Amino acid sequence: MQQSPLLVLLQKLSLFCSVVVVVLLLQLNLSSLPASAASETATSAGHAIPYPPYEHFPVRETILGTKITKIETKPTNEYYNEVEAQLGQNHTANNTSKDGNNGKKWKLKLLHRDKLGYSSFVDHHERFQARMQRDIKRVSAIMRKISGGKVSSNKIDSKAVGSYYEAEEFGTEVVSGMEQGSGEYFVRIGVGSPARNQYMVIDSGSDVLWVQCQPCNLCYHQSDPVFDPSLSASLAWVPCGSTACDQVENSGCHSGRCKYEVMYGDGSYTQGTLAFETLSFGGTVVRNVAIGCGHRNRGMFIGAAGLLGLGGGSMSLVGQLGGQTGGAFSYCLVSLGTASSGSLDFGRGALPVGAAWVPLLHNPRAPSFYYIGLSGLGVGGMQLPISEDVFGLTESGNGGVVMDTGTAVTRLPTAAYVAFRNAFLTETASLPRAPAVSIFDTCYDLNGFVTVRVPTVSFFLSGGPILTLPARNFLIPVDERGTFCFAFAPSPTGLSIIGNIQQEGIQISFDGANGFVGFGPNVC
């Protein structure tokens, strides 16, 4: 039967309207992305990295991964030469394009610090218990810092720092510090001229960079010789009253030199003299970086030479480089027991195409921390009936969701955690339970299993993207006998913290210039 002309016209009009609506929706979605990602879209179905609602978790393989095989640590220069040969490129500040998006990017292999031969732990259970004790102190420190944080509106003088550094991307080796009695991940960098290679804790919640220095009046044990400032041709002491000195809380003056003191919430501290120094990241040299030269240091940093702050404040490495990198950096934290590699990269060229971007939120009470919006949680592909208000950041600076490399286990407000845990328990009712271990109240006895079927879990991020985690990011072994625990814990306050266990294996990027954080699309 032939359709009437009026009906055909109506069908064409309906099709035209549908196309217009789709185009408008696409334009709206693109407008919500950062400028660096204007040509990118979130990955399929709104998922940062697509995972199925359920998966077969390799129990036996994961248990075998707890038995870490130590490797010999090669001199850093030898390691860099190997990587340069593999990548077929040698980057220096003099031959890299000033166009951060089009220039070359220095990328080095990421290794687990667990595989280096400095540990005194004899088995995985000891490593786990020590890690949980550090984690408890870390979370307590963060909550005290946020509740009593001070706001500084000053900005560091860009001419004083990095004045000889040309915009490029650079990166460095990142290794897990779980066995070091200190921060969770380390980087290997060169300090001074000539460069002395040092392991540094990376911390996305701290700003001041510092290394232990001679003369060392009070120092903890570190893996490398303590840095001697008298042997560096590039070191210049920061004078009292300078912009850089004013940026450091608890700064003082002695003999015309700027003194600093940083106290951490877990009782750790560093005291010393502030200096401008040259740092080396593989083939990249960054000059005039303000660092602390610590003569009295104590705390949970054993094994590392100091701390490399990556926080949002002006004195962090990211803050000091400022517009030269656009506040952009990206990292991939490797998972324990895998042969995967990752990296820590700086520069706008480090921002990936295809990431799922969400806005960064600012808390004036804690400007060093990176906050994101969280609208809900999911188990097995289904979002749970938890109010978005539970995760909100209030005008007074309470609550909110912080992403932190130094915290291992994700903390959630108690009400959200209980609903989350109970949903997971329902979906895993067939698995044999085990007693609570440390901070974990939901554990399983998987001894004898080769694989088990478990649900994946999801973070529903504000703005639409969904970050779904595979089981290895939340079902973790606590011993070598097959005891696994659900790696989340309740928060004693309204603050949520997304820890590094949940971040492992996911490419995470920060676009500070535009105020976005991206997840995926790559895994590492």
Question: Rounded to a whole number, what is the largest CA-CA distance in the chain?
Answer: 99
C-alpha closest to that of 169 among 369, 344, 386, 429: 344
Rounded CA-CA distance 52/520 in Å is: 16
Please tell me which residue in 203, 207, 479, 511 is annotated as part of the active site. Answer: 203
Assess contact for 348 and 169: CB atoms under 8 A: yes
> In the annotation, is 224 catalytic?
no
Q: 430: number of CA atoms within 13 Å, CB side? A: 6
Q: Is 441 considered catalytic here?
A: no
Do the beta carbons of residue 449 and residue 59 sit within 8 Å? yes
Q: Which of 204, 477, 227, 170 is nearest to 346 (CA)?
A: 170
Alpha helices in 297-345 (DSSP H): 317-321
Sheet order of strands, 496-498 included: 170-172, 344-346, 328-331, 506-511, 516-523, 356-361, 370-372, 401-403, 496-498, 410-413, 488-491
Active-site residue among 207, 404, 479, 511?
A: 404
| Residue 21 structure tokens | 């609506």
On the 0-12 / 13-18 / 19+ scale of CB atoms within 10 A, 398 is middle
Contact between 365 and 145 (Cβ < 8 Å): no
d(CA 250, CA 252): 7
The C-alpha atoms of residue 108 and residue 86 are separated, in whole angstroms, by 10
SS3 of the chain: helix, strand, coil, percent, to 5: 25, 30, 45
- Catalytic residue numbers? 203, 404
